């Protein structure tokens, strides 16, 4: 393939020069063999904006295909960002797991994979695994900072937040928390995960890169209030890390980000049966243990009373169900509680 640079040990071809100053719109070309095109590829749009010698940040969205505040924000940022207004390098992938994003689904129609369960990937694996391997082994080593923009997708609606892990290394923890404070979502969720698993956030943390994940809304639509938080947030992070001039601007309505956590499984409610979930409270409400959290209805039997579900913990209603229809074992409530920051 003339005009492209191959990358050893990964079949992904980067049709972009990460070292070239200015702004480039390029592609990551990932092989995808088909019956009618054995050498077929899928190209994933990538944008690099570079000026001078400052740090590098990687912004990604569309890790899950049906999460949109991040995708819209990064599409807007790709067009708006002028190399002259930065000192450093900004790498932007607005729709990272491209087949899932094109399909408007969390997972890929190609291999059925959840991209955020595919790290550190495998250069000889499925589409998602090959791409995860490229992001982990080729893109992350270029980065000083990383941020992955998520929302709740079809399944969940989430109170707008950034998210990070409770890290053992206090200096890394401080740097990540400072980045979250700069982003300034209404809430910062610190998750205690001993084995954070095969996520992009964990891959970045393993490489000692200050990194954030986020949940910037949900229900597979664009929440305009959360979009405003996200657009402001990515610029705040660019200022915080010194790539853009200026100081992070606090949100006029929310003020300082509220640092919270999900301490245990009492904060979750999983439904005991399939049905229709009717919530009792709005997302973001302060709720009390022992009070009704919602009702599970059964369309097959109008004479059957709904099952009442009860909060087992008090706190902020951080996640609710996105779609009313639920299957046995689906979570419909997650409560967050204040954390000493």
150 lies in the site for Zn ion, by CB under 5 A: yes
In this complex, which beta carbon is closest to Zn ion, that of residue 114 or of residue 281? 114
Q: Provide the angle, in degrees to the nearest 10, between the axes of the packed helices 69-80 and 224-240.
A: 50
- Residue range at the interface with Zn ion (CB under 5 A); choices 12-20, 58-66, 184-192, 237-245: 58-66
CA dihedral angle for residue 116, residue 118, residue 121, residue 126, rounded to 10 degrees: -120
Q: Can you read off the two tokens belonging to residue 290? A: 């022992």
Quote the least distance from Cβ 134 to Zn ion, whole Å. 19
- Residue range at the interface with Zn ion (CB under 5 A); choices 34-42, 89-97, 140-148, 149-157: 149-157
In this complex, which beta carbon is closest to Zn ion, that of residue 59 or of residue 311? 59
133 lies in the site for Zn ion, by CB under 5 A: no
DSSP 82-100: -GGGBSEEEEEETTSSHHH
Q: Enumerate helices (H) and strands (E) in the chain, giving the number of each.
A: 6, 20
In this complex, which beta carbon is closest to Zn ion, that of residue 143 or of residue 216? 216
97 lies in the site for Zn ion, by CB under 5 A: no
Is residue 28 within 8 Å of residue 20, measured between CB atoms?
no
Residue 300's Cβ-count burial label (10 Å; 0-12, 13-18, 19+) is exposed
- Residue range at the interface with Zn ion (CB under 5 A); choices 66-74, 253-261, 284-292, 296-304: 66-74
321 lies in the site for Zn ion, by CB under 5 A: no
Is residue 73 within 8 Å of residue 234, measured between CB atoms?
yes
- Residue range at the interface with Zn ion (CB under 5 A); choices 142-150, 169-177, 195-203, 251-259: 142-150
In this complex, which beta carbon is closest to Zn ion, that of residue 88 or of residue 155? 155
64 lies in the site for Zn ion, by CB under 5 A: yes
Binding residues for Zn ion (CB under 5 A): 64, 67, 150
């Amino acid at each position: 393939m003339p005009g492209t640079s191959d990358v050893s040990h990964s079949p992904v071809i980067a049709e972009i020069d990460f070292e070239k100053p200015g702004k480039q719109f390029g592609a990551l070309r990932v092989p995808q063999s088909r019956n009618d095109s054995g050498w077929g590829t899928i190209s994933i749009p990538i944008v690099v904006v570079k000026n001078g010698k400052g740090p590098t940040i990687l912004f990604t969205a569309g890790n899950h295909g049906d999460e949109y505040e991040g995708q819209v924000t990064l599409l807007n940022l790709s067009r708006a960002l002028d190399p002259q207004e930065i000192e450093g390098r900004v790498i932007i992938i607005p729709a990272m797991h491209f087949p899932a994003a094109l399909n408007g689904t969390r997972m890929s129609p190609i291999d059925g994979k959840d991209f955020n369960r595919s790290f550190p990937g495998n250069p000889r694996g499925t589409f998602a695994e090959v791409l995860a391997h490229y992001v982990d082994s080729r893109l992350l080593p270029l980065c000083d900072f990383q941020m992955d923009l998520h929302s709740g997708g079809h399944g969940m609606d989430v109170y707008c937040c950034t998210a990070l892990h409770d890290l053992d290394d206090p200096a890394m923890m401080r740097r990540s928390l400072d980045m979250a404070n700069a982003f300034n979502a209404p809430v910062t969720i610190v998750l205690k995960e001993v084995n954070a698993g095969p996520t992009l956030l964990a891959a970045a943390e393993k490489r000692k890169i200050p990194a954030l994940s986020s949940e910037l809304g949900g229900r597979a639509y664009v929440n305009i209030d959360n979009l405003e938080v996200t657009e402001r947030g990515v610029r705040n992070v660019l200022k915080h890390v010194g790539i853009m001039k200026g100081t992070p601007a606090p949100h006029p309505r929310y003020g300082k980000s509220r640092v919270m956590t999900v301490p245990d499984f009492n904060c979750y409610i999983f439904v005991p049966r399939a049905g229709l979930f009717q919530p009792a409270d709005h997302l973001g409400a302060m709720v009390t243990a022992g009070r009704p959290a919602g009702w599970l209805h059964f369309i097959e039997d109008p004479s059957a009373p709904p099952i009442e579900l009860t909060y087992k913990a008090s706190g902020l209603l951080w996640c609710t169900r996105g779609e009313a229809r639920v299957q046995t074992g689906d979570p419909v409530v997650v409560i967050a509680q204040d954390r000493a920051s």
